[in-house]
Amino acid sequence: MNRTVLIEGTFLFIISIVSIVEGIRLVIYKDPNTLFDPIGPGLYVLIISILLMVTSFTYFIGNYKKNIDTKKDATNNEMVQRVIYMTAAFAAYIFLIYFIGYLLASIIFFLLEFRIVGIKSWPISILLALSFSAFYYVTFVYFCDMVFPRGIINLPIWG
Amino acid sequence: MDLLNGIANVFSLSNLLYCFLGCLGGTLVGVLPGLGPASTLSILLPLTLFLDPTASIIMLAGIYYGAAYGGSTTSILVNIPGEAGSVPTTFDGFPMTKKGRAGEALFISAIGSFIAGTFGALMISFIGPRMVMHALKFGPPEYFGLIFFSLSMLISLSGASVIKGAICGLVGILIATSGIDPMAGITRFSFSSLQLMKGMDLIPIVVGLFGIGEVLCSFEENIGKIYEGKLGNFIPKGPEMKKGLWACIRGTLIGFFPGLLPGMVPALTAFFAYDLEKRVSKHPEKFGTGEIEGVAGPEAANNATAQAGFLPLFVLGIPTGPSMAIILGALMIYGLQPGPTLFLQNKDFMWTVIGSMYIGNVMLLILNLPLVGLWAKISQIPYKYLGPSILAICVIGAYSARNTLFDVWIALGAGVLGYIMRKRNWPVAPLILGFILGSMLELSLRQSVSMGGPMIFFKRPISCVLILLAIVTMVISIKLLGRVHKEIIMQESDK
């Protein structure tokens, strides 16, 4: 059995089930003041969800027996690891903006990213992180007047 | 004569200056993903109160159609649509950049935008007011028919697997239902979360799926630069230019006439145009690999729709979207009542604004064309510097949609999903199209059924024709797709 298709099918099945449950909930608990609307908020969701389940099932049935090449070389694993680190750095960035503000979070983010992409020198990484962050801060926060969370430090310059 | 007087009035120093500022501001806003014209217009509206009405509306209009010009830049260079209407431009624009043809893509995009903008201004001048009256014949059943017809595009955007495209489209439609129901005000898929109650915005999803997803894929492929070789010509030559120009003309027509309908979004007509180009092309299988028509058509349609949106606004007082609603607000603040009498009672004002659209389109061409070479060089920046920069822009783009970090999380989630979809050959375009169409489809369906039951779609001729056309188009598309795949397989086996 094709493991990837199984995972895809399971994921789509879960989405379909959640949507069907939501659709049924909205159909059952329909607001009586909305009788002017025969379809209502629930029936539309229910129909789309059922269609999704049917198409997902059709896809699964048509593909689960197909074989795929499962060989992976070492280089690919290394690059996938890099993608995971970058995603984690991005998630950390969003988290940090909330706590320490946009400017400081950007500096840390750029530093992490440049280290992940392979810039080995710390002075260059730090310099680039500071430059890029300053550029983005001046352009978007100062000139474009975008208001980012200031973080718990709450100093105005942090954006 | 009125038009000539209007154009002459634009050549006053203040009107020219504000036209330029509007076009420049609009282009910059369009380039930056997430910073849409609506938010810029709403910020600048109070400032324009200090100007005279003509200069104010000229500037606001310039921002609106300038944004349509600028949205293609990041779509082509780094695969991040600057505006929702620039999403289809990424399908072939970014592949052109990866082949070293970023300059050609940007050039034809600017030319297409100019052709569409100028055509739009011409139509507004001469036959617009009469045509827009027909737009009133479009009610909810007709809108449903049009959107149902748009669903036939899901097939051509699905690539190799129609079923994958259908699944992605349905997922997009489902995501669009999250948040507050448009008719009953009930929350759906909120799971008791205040953030989810607001629903999903298009920009974070687009930024994530296209921008973040592409960056993650590029880092996995360990690319040195987006394009490693020497950049090609910036101006398409011979047959390429001819193909591009014809696509611009088709895109303009596709974009302008539906754009007269209130509520018609440039994103939809851009998808229409892309689908049309794919259907009329001799090599539809090459779309998605860097075909110039795939850039020219959607960009022209996007700009034509933006321009067409002024007609329902001026003639009927109906804004076609949030940006137009702000311009309507500006008109009302100045005591200018939109409607048929606007052309009669404020003739000088109207024709000056229309005249400014001609001048504004020329300004945009002059602004954008010389920068093509500079923009194209972005594809030569080492990706280890460019990639993190793009991710930082994605944060800003996603955040600026609703000023909430929740949207940035959505963008990250969409980015990871986009990455996985690319690795597993799932088409991304149908998901976005489903999301764009989803809310419009539901609203028009429910309004129509409330009006006259399910049979209303077949009692109204326009709606009936569109629905039948949609079914016929879907069947033909599926058959054609099968034939194209067989031909490709035969060609490959001959090799």
| Complex ipTM | 0.91
Q: At what angle do helices B238-259 and B266-280 cross, to 10 degrees?
A: 140
Q: Do B445 and A90 touch (CB under 8 A)?
A: no
Q: How far is the alpha carbon of B131 from chain A, nearest alpha carbon, in Å?
A: 32
| Surface-to-core class of residue B493, CB atoms within 10 Å of its CB (0-12 exposed, 13-18 middle, 19+ buried) | exposed
Residue A9: how many other CB atoms lie within 10 Å: 18
Q: Do B222 and A79 touch (CB under 8 A)?
A: yes
- pTM value is 0.83
List the 137-166 stretch of B: residues with Cβ below 8 A of A: 163-164, 166
Site from B154, B162, B167, B439 to mutate, A interface, most A CB atoms within 10 angstroms: B167
Euclidean distance between CA atoms B344 and B25, whole angstroms: 31
For residue B284, the model assigns a pLDDT of 85
For residue A36, the model assigns a pLDDT of 75
For residue B485, the model assigns a pLDDT of 57
- Max CA distance (Å), chain A: 67
Q: Which residues of chain A have pLDDT under 50?
A: 71-74, 158-159
Q: How far is the alpha carbon of A51 from chain B, nearest alpha carbon, in Å?
A: 8
For residue B484, the model assigns a pLDDT of 57
The first and second tokens of residue B274, run together, are: 């892309």
List the 5-24 stretch of A: residues with Cβ below 8 A of B: 8, 12, 15, 19, 22
What residue type is assigned to position B243 of the chain?
K
CA atoms within 13 A of residue A132's CA, in its CB half-sphere: 26
Residue B210: how many other CB atoms lie within 10 Å: 29
Q: How far is the alpha carbon of A65 from chain B, nearest alpha carbon, in Å?
A: 16
For residue B31, the model assigns a pLDDT of 75
The number of helix segments (H) and strand segments (E) in chain B equals 26, 2
CA distances (Å), origin B351, targets B24, B121, B354: 22, 11, 5
Residues of A in contact with B212 (CB under 8 A): 90
Euclidean distance between CA atoms B200 and B177, whole angstroms: 9
Q: Do A59 and B163 touch (CB under 8 A)?
A: yes
Q: Do A37 and B174 touch (CB under 8 A)?
A: no
| Surface-to-core class of residue A156, CB atoms within 10 Å of its CB (0-12 exposed, 13-18 middle, 19+ buried) | exposed
B11-18 contacts: CB < 8 A, separation 24 or more? Answer: B11/B359, B14/B51, B14/B52, B14/B55, B15/B54, B15/B55, B15/B58, B15/B352, B15/B356, B16/B359, B18/B51, B18/B55, B18/B56, B18/B58, B18/B59, B18/B62
The nearest alpha carbon in chain A to B33 belongs to A140
B419 in contact with A at a CB cutoff of 8 Å? yes
Q: How far is the alpha carbon of A31 from chain B, nearest alpha carbon, in Å?
A: 8
Q: How far is the alpha carbon of B216 from chain A, nearest alpha carbon, in Å?
A: 6
A40 in contact with B at a CB cutoff of 8 Å? yes
Q: Do A80 and B173 touch (CB under 8 A)?
A: no
Q: Do B170 and A114 touch (CB under 8 A)?
A: no
For residue B20, the model assigns a pLDDT of 87
Q: Do A40 and B184 touch (CB under 8 A)?
A: yes
Q: Are the C-beta atoms of B75 and B33 separated by less than 8 Å?
A: no
B188 closest CB neighbour out of A8, A37, A45: A45
Tell me the pLDDT tens digit for each residue of B23-39: 888 888 777 766 667 77
Euclidean distance between CA atoms B385 and B368, whole angstroms: 25
Residue A21: how many other CB atoms lie within 10 Å: 12
Euclidean distance between CA atoms B39 and B36, whole angstroms: 6
Instruction: Give, in degrees to the nearest 5, the angle at Cα B119 between B116 and B121.
Output: 110
B192 in contact with A at a CB cutoff of 8 Å? no
Site from A44, A63, A135 to mutate, B interface, most B CB atoms within 10 angstroms: A44
For residue B250, the model assigns a pLDDT of 94
Q: Do B219 and A37 touch (CB under 8 A)?
A: no
Q: Which residues of chain B have pLDDT under 70?
A: 1, 33-36, 128-129, 131-133, 135, 340, 480-495
Q: How far is the alpha carbon of A37 from chain B, nearest alpha carbon, in Å?
A: 5
Of B89, B111, B477, whose CA–CA distance to B284 is shortest?
B477
